[in-house]
Amino acid sequence: MAQELDAAVDPAAARVAPAWPGWVAAVAGLVVALFGTGLLLALANPEFFGLPPVSSGAWIVGAVVALAGAAGLLGGLGWLAWRGVRVRRHLPAERYRGPSVILMFVLAVAIANLASVVPLLLESNPVTAIGEAGPLTVVVLLAATPVAFVAVVGLFVIRPRALAGATLADGQRTAWNMLRGVVLAESEDFYVRNEKGE
């Protein structure tokens, strides 16, 4: 069914790789990543979960499982995003020819979360390290999401020219249109406040 819908967008879509490998890898990777995260937390703080004491580095097992699941998740999402570009590549230039925006959002968030976890895993105990992270870890945590969004948009929208025909400005009228929008927004805000008696 999905293949037929894609063919309606692009007649050559029947020759594009199927979508199911991406979905299988993404769902399986998410399940494994969640399981690995739970295992990581349990092995890092066994007394909190009522488990017998384990060796200090046992949490690494959970970290490896979680990272393997995250790799599968990112691989599956990346497959689907790449496929979206391939399916829509023959659309007119004024149409959006990139992958689903929601898919790219999920992919960027997944990348950011993975990048945020890595510096914590380098600490002796990733659970207690959250509250006492060093400056470098804090910088990574703060920068991961915007950098991930820029990377995903650059890879799946800018590089394949998915918005080649889109106009981001109105030429000489850009400044005037922006000023008009600000004035209209402010006047509407003033009207609402007047109605409320503020």
Q: Would you kindly state where each structural domain of the chain is located, as residue ranges?
A: 2-166, 168-198
Q: Say yes or no to pLDDT of 194 above 70.
A: no
Q: Say yes or no to pLDDT of 54 above 80.
A: no
Is 0.75 surpassed by the pTM of this model?
no
Q: Say yes or no to pLDDT of 39 above 70.
A: yes
Higher-scoring residue by pLDDT: 94, 148: 148
pLDDT value of position 129: 47
pLDDT value of position 191: 56
Looking at every residue in the chain, the average pLDDT score rounds to: 77
Q: How confident is the model at residue 24 (pLDDT cuts 50, 70, 90)?
A: very high
Q: Say yes or no to pLDDT of 189 above 70.
A: no
pLDDT value of position 59: 73
Long-range Cβ contacts of 99-104 (<8 Å, 24+ apart): 99/156, 103/77, 104/152, 104/153, 104/156, 104/157
Burial of 49 (0-12, 13-18, 19+ CB in 10 A): exposed
Work out the average pLDDT over 96-125: 81
Work out the average pLDDT over 85-109: 89
Residues 6 or more apart whose CB falls under 8 angstroms from that of 40 comprise 59, 62, 63, 65, 66, 126
Per mean pLDDT, which range of 19-28, 69-78, 123-132, 139-148 is the poorest? 123-132
pLDDT value of position 5: 45
